[in-house]
Amino acid sequence: MSGAEASQNSDRRLPSRMFAQVDSAAALGESQRQMLEAILPRHAFTLMMPMGADAGGLRPLHQPFRITIHHDGLPTPWTNPNERATAVYLERIRQFHVQPPPEGRGWADIGYHFAVDVAGRVWQLRSLEWQGAHVKGANEGNIGIVALGNFDLTAPSAQQLSSLELFTDLLCCGYHIGWNNVYMHGELAANATSCPGTYLADCLRQLRARRLADTANA
C-alpha cells in the first residue's frame, strides 16, 4: 500500500452506531462483551476509504432488520488462521470488489459488513453506516457477514462456527433482530447460489432451528 493511499485514512473509528446501541443493552453476556471488545477495526486490514460515496455508490443502511451469512467461496479454500495473512486476504477481496469490471465488481467498497475468520476473529469491513453489496436486490437493512473459506469444499472450524454464532447473537441483540431474520445468501438470492456453502449451510440450518426453538420455549 502506498503512502498516498495510507494518507487517505481517516476512519479509525469503531462501528459507532452498533457499539452505541449494544453498549446500552443490558442483556449482553460476558462472552458477548468480550467479543465486542475484540472486533478488529477496519484499519486492521485496510487504510482505504470507500470510493465513490458522492457518486451514489453508497446508500445509508438505516435500521438493520436482517442478517445474511455468506462464505467467500473462492476456489482454493482459505484455511489460514494467521491474523496478518487474513488481513492481506481481506484486502484482496476489497480490491476485487472495488475494481471496475471486468476485473472486479466496481462497488464503492468491500461488499460485506463483517468477516469471521478461520481462527474465529471478527473483522469490521464496510461501515454499518452504509448498505452492503452482498445480496443483489436485498441489501436494504441487511447486515452482511462473510465466513472466510469455501464451505462447499471444506467444513468450517469449530472456532469459526462458534464465533459466527456468538457474533450473530450480538448483532441480533444489538438490533433486536430475531433468528427468523438470519438468512443464508441462497435463501434471499434471486439467482441460485450455494452460498454460504453446503457444509456451513447445514450447520447454520441446525443452529437457527435450535435458536428459534429456544426462543419459542423461553
Interface ranges with Zn ion (CB under 5 A) = 70, 185, 195
Assess contact for 109 and 97: CB atoms under 8 A. yes
Residue 107 C-beta: closest distance to Zn ion, Å: 14
Please say which residue, 47 or 138, places its beta carbon nearer to Zn ion: 138
Strand partners, 66: 142
Residue 12 C-beta: closest distance to Zn ion, Å: 28
Residue 65 C-beta: closest distance to Zn ion, Å: 19
Residue 127 C-beta: closest distance to Zn ion, Å: 19
Residue 25 C-beta: closest distance to Zn ion, Å: 28
Please say which residue, 177 or 195, places its beta carbon nearer to Zn ion: 195
Owner of C-alpha cell 469503531: 14
User: How many other CB atoms are found less than 10 A from the CB of residue 15?
Assistant: 19
Please say which residue, 28 or 200, places its beta carbon nearer to Zn ion: 200
List of residues 6+ apart from 5 with CB closer than 8 A: 47, 48
C-alpha cell at 188: 434471499
Owner of C-alpha cell 450473530: 168
- What is d(CA 36, CA 32) in angstroms, rounded to the nearest whole number? 6
Q: What angle do CA 199, 73, 181 make, to 5 degrees?
A: 65
Residue 211 C-beta: closest distance to Zn ion, Å: 21
Please say which residue, 22 or 135, places its beta carbon nearer to Zn ion: 135
Q: Sign (positive/negative) of CA torsion 8, 10, 13, 15?
A: negative
C-alpha cell at 105: 465488481
Please say which residue, 70 or 94, places its beta carbon nearer to Zn ion: 70
Strand bridging mode 182-184 / 142-147: unpaired
Please say which residue, 66 or 185, places its beta carbon nearer to Zn ion: 185
